[in-house]
Structure 1
């Protein structure tokens, strides 16, 4: 092999150039790049890979996808990339997909249905191998994906969707465990800071809060509704402080809301957990590094990502689409009153 086989600078390197440099056929280069369908001896593969490295060859991804019938690309739609929970979920999805040889194209719907639909159309047009959707709705419209014969998995959902695999945790059971923990500390007036959703359906976390209070024979505490954001939590905290018969504990439906509530309480000089105990939901890294650290219901991010990616690429559930529910875990820290 000689350097004279290399092409001039700024000229696209082709598979034939690699073959000429390595002293093999173009078909052998294809076998190495695509890892099949025929085996290549280790010595020959080493020569081809050296040629690829020296020449700077980059396979045409679109042509390769057309030939193989697969883009090896998955689409991911999440409602808010600023939310640490969805950031951690996206990271886990990317890691699981990479282990199976797939790349992930992540998009952010910013909590709006118009943008969610636009992302779905765009991903369908790119002919991705599948879509993982953490929707703004409990029951989203997936007609465009069905029309394009692109499989989808609904991620971070509590309901089964006909024809699609769904993966999530039991919001209602997790919320009930959180509120029961606060009741165990002796609290009889427990507020709910509930995030708003596009569909207007009653969220499982609200139902779990109601379940725990009813089982203990306690009256419903005040409910403050706001966005699933730090700003939303801050506004909710201010409304809680202004409400008559201020509660002694609050269950926040997301860690981000809880962070905002903490700020409002701190500004008002309300001690946490001495004067107001708190448990939140999600189990993001932010919850661990607040002060005081937040007791939180941790969603099983890695397990959810593994189940969703596995279902999407056909590694699981050979009998057909299923609803996969992965239990959450109550992580106890200082904000609830525990040592």
Structure 2
């Protein structure tokens, strides 16, 4: 019986190995791998890339980060990436980061303040180059990032304040458009399903609902407060149906709530939009495939994501903070009563 030959472990391929194979200096290999700082002739670059492929060279990320003074990584914290809106936003941020040469670390806070703060600390400890935060608070605690000199941008944020880098939409104006559309269908009793927040702050979408009704000379409709989730919307829908002042139309502060409301209405045998019309806020893909399809306030997610990543990179260059508020638009489908 023969004993199989034990192969010694293969040592990692180094930059010197690539340089030797390509017949160039290690500096040239570095220029190709890092995209500079000096230009490399196309033919030489092709030889280096061929050597990298043949030898299966993998640059040491830790060493590269130490040399560049950058991990080339951004952190993103969202309340819930199973929510189609935040899933779409996270995807857009990842694309925008990749286009600029950065990887993305995604974390969830699950709408919990303690978990959000833990995620912030963890990302700061990993020395990411920036953090994009969709916080559960309108004014989150960012002390850990500031101590680590890590720039940040608040996402889904429409409040103003000194020294804040933020990206968001005008929640009040967007909600007002959605409610005014229901008023245009002749509704005079419009209910509100509004999400709750940790800080108990008044949400801009509630202000937009109130403003539209006030300007139309109408009293407030019934309100149901619940989580920004399908189950939260389901419970809000049942409460609004049971209200002594049952509305003929409902504005929901998120598409997920609206989907839950649809289930509550369908179970009760209520026709949508025949008996109760419905509009919502977010512009997620799920709104298009609900039944009936939801009339919803669209947010320009791609533009917001690109602006957020650029905001991080600008802050790294010590550019002054920017608070960017993007316009929304109403995407009309069938749930409001339009054909």
**TM bucket by the smaller chain?**
over 0.9
Q: Which residue of 2 aligns with 1:320?
A: 320
Superposition map of 1:151-170 within 5 A: 151-170=151-170
- Structure 2: which 5+ residue stretches go unaligned? 1-6
Superposition map of 1:1-339 within 5 A: 10-314=10-314, 320-339=320-339
Runs of 4+ in 1 over 3 A off after TM superposition: 7-10, 315-319
Residue by residue over 1:97-149, the C-alpha shift from the partner in whole angstroms, topping out at 9 and shown as x without a partner, is 11111111111111111111111111111111111111110000111111111
- Specify whether residues 316 and 189 from structure 1 end up closer, same or farther in structure 2 by C-alpha distance, changes over 3 A only: farther
- Specify whether residues 131 and 242 from structure 1 end up closer, same or farther in structure 2 by C-alpha distance, changes over 3 A only: same
Structure 1: how far apart are the matches of 2:101 and 2:89? 18
User: Is the CA contact (8 Å cut-off) linking 2:315 and 2:321 kept in structure 1?
Assistant: no
Structure 2: how far apart are the matches of 1:115 and 1:243? 35
Q: TM-score, normalising length from structure 1?
A: 0.95
Deviation for aligned residue 1:164: 2.8
- Specify whether residues 155 and 317 from structure 1 end up closer, same or farther in structure 2 by C-alpha distance, changes over 3 A only: farther
Structure 2: how far apart are the matches of 1:17 and 1:59? 12
User: Is the CA contact (8 Å cut-off) linking 2:18 and 2:29 kept in structure 1?
Assistant: yes
Residue by residue over 1:280-330, the C-alpha shift from the partner in whole angstroms, topping out at 9 and shown as x without a partner, is 000100001111000001111111112111111129998611210101101
Structure 1: how far apart are the matches of 2:47 and 2:117? 47
User: Is the CA contact (8 Å cut-off) linking 2:234 and 2:263 kept in structure 1?
Assistant: yes
- Secondary structure of the structure 2 residue equivalent to 1:335: coil
Structure 2: how far apart are the matches of 1:29 and 1:164? 41
Deviation for aligned residue 1:69: 1.1
Structure 2: how far apart are the matches of 1:12 and 1:316? 33
- Secondary structure of the structure 1 residue equivalent to 2:314: coil
Deviation for aligned residue 1:16: 1.4
Residue by residue over 1:9-44, the C-alpha shift from the partner in whole angstroms, topping out at 9 and shown as x without a partner, is 643111111122222222221111111222222222
Q: Which residue of 2 aligns with 1:4?
A: none
Residue by residue over 1:198-239, the C-alpha shift from the partner in whole angstroms, topping out at 9 and shown as x without a partner, is 110000001111111111111111101110000111111111
**Matched positions, count:** 333
- Secondary structure of the structure 2 residue equivalent to 1:313: helix
- Structure 1: which 5+ residue stretches go unaligned? 1-6
Q: TM-score, normalising length from structure 2?
A: 0.95
